[in-house]
Structure 1
Amino acid sequence: MARRLIIFVLAAFILLAGPASAVERGALFKVSGHGHTMYLFGTIHMGLPEFFPLDDSVTRALAASTTLALEIDPTVQNTKMAAALQQAALTTPAIVAAMPPALGPRLRSHLEALGAPATLSTKLKPWMLVMTLELIEYAKLGYRPDLGVDAHLAKLAHSQNIKVIALETVKSQIDLFDRLPVADQWTILDEALASLDSGEAQEDVQSVTNGWARADHATLDALALKYETDQRLSSQILQRRLLTARNGPMADKLDGLLKREKNTMAAVGLMHLIGKDSVPALLRAKGLKVEQVY
């Protein structure tokens, strides 16, 4: 379950396969208000070569825009993110001492099975251990961090001299994890191990990526409902901290951008665009016209 946390800050991998084709993927909305227009596109922070080029509706919307708004700009933030992560991820003796006794052997066994040093169990904070386990697991399957859809859009925008702005900061995204109570971090790690063991983690990633790749809204809506109703701690944290708490500020900033500029585009993680507290729902609540293109 806790593997879902990775999808909204670092989730970075997907299997390599298939030919390139420009088809409808993800979710695309047209937002109108204040006499201006914005296109809102749902991305995944991961990619396959076959995902590109993106659908013409997306590339035309970007080409007609004066500004592209992203969660962060991956093309300029990678070095900063790596340094911030390195600083924030190292654990402390007090955090290690709080590890539930039964969790240590399971964690070391998972790390060794993935070819990672078992000593990481006492070097990294629990939330970073969750990310590490996931990244190793999916890297083994060939998942690619360099083919993220948001990164692709950022590169296109820069190449066309379209201004790119960030809705969030690297620090704010890291803080979502680093400010979790230590006991909650260990619980999330415990749930992550169970999810990996059962295969649920892999199934959830496939649901997100397949739903995005096919613009399969039935699958995506079912996944959103699952996250909203699951009572496990990792799902609750996902819903409250990684989605609901961020969607409001995102919607406010996008409304401000729509007021300022005539033609703009925004691209944020797909899960921010589905579910009852989604960014499109919040924009509608502000009185804006929100139409789903696909």
Structure 2
Amino acid sequence: MNLVRHCLRRCGAALFALWLAGAAQAQDCPPPLSAPNPALLAQPPAGAPDRGLLWQLEKDGRSAWLFASIHLGRPEWLIPGPRLQAALDASDTLALELDLSNVYVLQALMSPVPGRPSLPLPPDLKARMQALARSSCTDLTPYATLHPVLQVGQLLAQSARRDGLGAEFGQEMGLMIQARLRGLEFAGLETPTLQLQALIPADRQEALEEVRESLRQLESPEVRLQTRRLAEAWAQGDLRTLETYEQWCDCVHSAADRAALKRTIADRNPGMAERIARLHGKGRRLLVAVGALHMTGEGSLLEALQARGFRVTQRWPEPR
């Protein structure tokens, strides 16, 4: 199973720990990424471009907004473009996959996952993980309580910094800043336990093989190329590239890979769509942000929302 796909699609939860803990620095480590001037976040410049993808949801005579997010980003990506600003201004609630403003949610992310036993790594895998941590300037000590499947995601996040991409500049972080500036409420579409149980295989051997394959992928230079291509496709609102991800990611080679893809993406969409429908039904004016790959493929979140009576219209990029 390809590490890029796993981390950018599923590590929105675990990557938040990277933002909190920071990363070790050494002589050959990538330089720190500088955040935009806070004034630019409080009063975004008129020329800031729109990035990502935005849909309008309509039901019962009221609108909500659905934004395709990405869990790694560049500093300038924190500045919302005019359409995202308008969606923020029209909303009273920011709904994320997880309510990352809730301290109990953050604590749950760093705790053992119910139903997912610990996974001691054999010496060879432990040595490979430690070598990758050194090469990517990552101190894994703060993540010692995380399942190894999630620890590997931290290695990818840190390696992406060499290409100017950081977890602290993912869209969840930028939207939370904007929501606080506007006094919006926060809501979560999933619980930490449900999300992590979907992301981590229940079978020990399956989890071990996932770690092994992820390390192999991370040891290849192709991982950075794939991460960069996926991030740039998001930034350009290139839905076609996102929809054809499996054709170029070199990430689905077996029935197990296909089952994992279904478990971590399509199987989660109905639950998130139901939560969106409930919040909308309570009169919340929603801006929803969910990982971009949830908008693609059979059983997408868009389809799940349409099945619950929403009219879904793409607003950015405008369909040709």
1:198 shift after superposition: 2.5
SS in 2 for 1:88: coil
SS in 2 for 1:198: coil
1:104 shift after superposition: 5.1
Which ranges of structure 1 fall in alignment gaps of 5 or more residues?
Answer: none
**Alignment root-mean-square deviation, CA:** 3.6
* 1:191 matched to 2:192: no
User: 1:209 matched to which residue of 2?
Assistant: 231
For this pair of structures, how many residues does the alignment match? 288
Q: Tell me the amino acid that sits aligned with residue 25 of structure 1.
A: R
| Residues 18-60 of structure 1, C-alpha deviations (whole Å, 9 max, x = no match) | 9985222111111111221111101112221221421211111
How far apart in 2 are the matches of 1:234 and 1:140?
A: 31
Does the C-alpha gap of structure 1 residues 144 and 129 become closer, same or farther in structure 2, counting only changes over 3 Å? closer
How far apart in 1 are the matches of 2:145 and 2:179?
A: 39
* 1:270 matched to 2:292: yes
* 1:55 matched to 2:81: yes
2:108 to 49, 73, 84: 84
Aligned 1:219-230 pairs, distance under 5 A: 219-223=241-245, 230=252
Q: Which moved more, 1:247-256 or 1:261-270?
A: 261-270
C-alpha contact (below 8 Å) 2:3/2:156 kept by paired residues = no
How far apart in 2 are the matches of 1:118 and 1:32?
A: 44
Does the C-alpha gap of structure 1 residues 128 and 233 become closer, same or farther in structure 2, counting only changes over 3 Å? farther
How far apart in 2 are the matches of 1:216 and 1:124?
A: 33
How far apart in 2 are the matches of 1:95 and 1:18?
A: 36
How far apart in 1 are the matches of 2:225 and 2:97?
A: 25
1:118 shift after superposition: 10
| Residues 37-89 of structure 1, C-alpha deviations (whole Å, 9 max, x = no match) | 11110111222122142121111111111222111233x24x54554344328
TM-score between both structures, scaled by the size of structure 2: 0.75
* 1:38 matched to 2:67: no
* 1:252 matched to 2:283: no
1:180 shift after superposition: 2.6
How far apart in 1 are the matches of 2:51 and 2:203?
A: 37
Q: What fraction of aligned residue pairs are identical, expressed as a percent?
A: 25
| Residues 242-264 of structure 1, C-alpha deviations (whole Å, 9 max, x = no match) | 21121110111112223332642
TM-score between both structures, scaled by the size of structure 1: 0.81
1:277 shift after superposition: 1.7
Q: Tell me the amino acid that sits aligned with residue 275 of structure 2.
A: K
Q: Which moved more, 1:138-147 or 1:198-207?
A: 138-147
SS in 1 for 2:243: helix
How far apart in 2 are the matches of 1:88 and 1:161?
A: 33
Q: Which moved more, 1:47-56 or 1:10-19?
A: 10-19
Q: Tell me the amino acid that sits aligned with residue 50 of structure 1.
A: E
C-alpha contact (below 8 Å) 1:72/1:168 kept by paired residues = yes
1:188 shift after superposition: 0.8
1:200 to 222, 232, 238: 222
C-alpha contact (below 8 Å) 2:51/2:234 kept by paired residues = yes
SS in 2 for 1:164: strand
Does the C-alpha gap of structure 1 residues 291 and 229 become closer, same or farther in structure 2, counting only changes over 3 Å? farther
1:209 shift after superposition: 0.9
C-alpha contact (below 8 Å) 1:4/1:201 kept by paired residues = no
2:179 to 157, 175, 187: 157
SS in 1 for 2:242: helix
| Residues 81-101 of structure 1, C-alpha deviations (whole Å, 9 max, x = no match) | 554344328xx99843x74x7
C-alpha contact (below 8 Å) 1:38/1:263 kept by paired residues = yes
Q: Which moved more, 1:125-134 or 1:264-273?
A: 125-134
1:27 to 36, 43, 53: 53
